[in-house]
């Protein structure tokens, strides 16, 4: 698409993700001539004014129906997950294409309604799983698919630490606005990569500390039809290694969360492990900021031309289905630091 073909862009939600990532992304693509930000929406007058001061020229709305009437060609939906389905469907029906932040929806039923609306309106619907634009994640996928180090034997993924996201509301920790905790939030990214690399698991085991509320810690174990097994651990209050390790027949791959352009590769020779050179992809998406630019540019091009979305909504629903399946099999996470009486109460709350 020529940079002279500008797409009218609207932004829904003026929270931390918009302020930290979408604002600089949009401004860069505005300078390059790809988009014009025409409207922004947030129910908070303060937040919409703050983001509006950075996106000069965009009309500011605190009424969503009025925002929809502004008729953006493409809208970024970056509101709490509770509102994703309703807002996305209304935008699609108004004629806009949508880039919806993860998690794609609060549940699978809502996500299916969103996909149906996209099909009915013949508009593009993408999901904000920006890690698929990381050269590192693409390199891992290539190695796994080609069995460069032999078949994958097992994997262990961990992600999390003390929650420090500068959230602008309490939606992360309120069940009325969030249908899940860390497993729905961080898990949307982690499980998307797992599914993208290995396919769908044949069996799952899942435990967390929700106890009737929202989980802060979770552990999931997966087994695949080909015998592959893996363990996933997520936390919002415990510092984890934040590393993905994939062990193969003839070596291993290791990726540190957030390192968009770096993968560690090891090869086995006899009983020794040899650490290979760090391989760096030549792609421009070398960090979070550049991957957000690549993601939005892909959506802009798909809106205006016959360009395929890198992460369409059909991909976003896959991790949501797995998350829902895990929640249905939820068991109480072992917590040996609790007293016997506290653990008995935890079991009561978990029922």
* Chain center to CA of 340: 37
**pLDDT values of the chain reduced to their tens digit, one per residue, 351 residues:** 445 579 999 999 999 999 999 999 999 999 999 999 999 999 999 999 999 999 999 999 999 999 999 999 999 999 999 999 999 999 999 999 999 999 999 999 999 999 999 999 999 999 999 999 999 999 999 999 999 999 999 999 999 988 665 655 556 555 565 578 999 999 999 999 999 999 999 999 999 999 989 999 999 999 999 999 999 999 999 999 999 999 999 999 999 998 998 999 998 764 444 444 444 444 456 788 899 999 999 999 999 888 999 999 999 999 999 999 999 999 999 988 889 998 899 888 887
pLDDT at 304: 81
Does the bond joining 94 to the residue before it have cis omega, within 30 degrees of 0?
no
SS3 content of the chain, % helix, strand, coil (to 5): 40, 25, 35
Q: Using CA atoms, how far apart are residues 204 and 316, in angstroms rounded to an integer?
A: 19
From residue 87, alpha-carbon distances to 56, 81, 98, 105, 301 in Å are 24, 10, 10, 11, 22
Cβ atoms of 84 and 104 within 8 Å: the answer is: yes
Q: Place domain 7-130+289-312 in its CATH homologous superfamily.
A: NAD(P)-binding Rossmann-like Domain (3.40.50.720)
Helix (H) or strand (E) run with residue 81 in it: none
Q: Which two tokens stand for residue 71?
A: 């008729």
Strands of 125-128's sheet, edge to edge? 59-61, 35-41, 7-12, 74-77, 97-101, 125-128
Q: What are the domain boundaries of the chain? A: 7-130+289-312, 132-284+320-350
Please state which of the four CATH numbers 3.30.360.10, 3.90.700.10, 3.40.30.10, 3.40.1080.10 is assigned to the domain occupying 132-284+320-350.
3.30.360.10
Q: Using CA atoms, how far apart are residues 114 and 256, in angstroms rounded to an integer?
A: 33
pTM of the predicted structure, to 2 decimals: 0.91
Cβ atoms of 256 and 242 within 8 Å: the answer is: yes
pLDDT at 267: 84
């Amino acid at each position: 698409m020529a940079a002279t073909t500008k797409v009218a862009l609207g932004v829904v939600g003026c929270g931390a993700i918009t302020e930290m990532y979408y604002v600089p992304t949009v401004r860069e693509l505005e300078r390059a001539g790809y988009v014009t930000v025409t409207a922004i929406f947030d129910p908070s007058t303060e937040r919409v004014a703050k983001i509006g001061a950075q996106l000069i020229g965009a009309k500011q709305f605190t009424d969503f129906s009025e925002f929809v009437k502004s008729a953006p060609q493409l809208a970024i939906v970056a509101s709490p997950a509770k509102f994703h389905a309703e807002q996305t469907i209304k935008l699609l029906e108004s004629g806009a294409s949508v880039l919806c932040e993860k998690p794609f929806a609060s549940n699978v039923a809502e996500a299916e309604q969103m996909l149906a609306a996209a099909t009915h309106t013949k508009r593009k619907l993408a999901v904000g799983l920006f890690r698929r634009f990381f050269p590192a994640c693409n390199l891992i996928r290539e190695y796994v698919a080609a069995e460069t180090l032999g078949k994958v034997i097992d994997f262990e993924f961990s992600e999390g630490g003390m929650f420090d996201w500068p959230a602008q509301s309490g939606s992360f920790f309120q069940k009325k606005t969030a249908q899940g905790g860390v497993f729905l939030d961080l898990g949307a990214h982690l499980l998307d990569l797992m599914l993208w690399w290995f396919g769908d698991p044949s069996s799952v085991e899942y435990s967390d500390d929700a106890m009737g509320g929202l989980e802060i810690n979770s552990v999931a174990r997966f087994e695949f039809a080909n015998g592959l097994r893996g363990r996933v651990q997520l936390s919002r209050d415990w510092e984890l290694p934040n590393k993905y390790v994939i062990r193969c027949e003839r070596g291993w791959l290791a990726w540190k969360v957030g390192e968009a352009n770096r993968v560690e590769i090891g090869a086995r020779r006899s009983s020794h492990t040899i650490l290979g050179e760090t391989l760096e992809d030549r792609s421009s998406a070398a960090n979070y900021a550049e991957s957000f630019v690549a993601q939005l540019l892909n959506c802009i091009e798909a809106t205006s031309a016959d360009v395929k979305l890198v992460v369409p909504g059909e991909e976003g629903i896959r991790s949501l289905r797995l998350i829902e399946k895990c929640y249905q099999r939820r068991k109480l996470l072992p917590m040996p630091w609790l007293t016997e009486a506290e653990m008995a109460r935890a079991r009561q709350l978990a029922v």
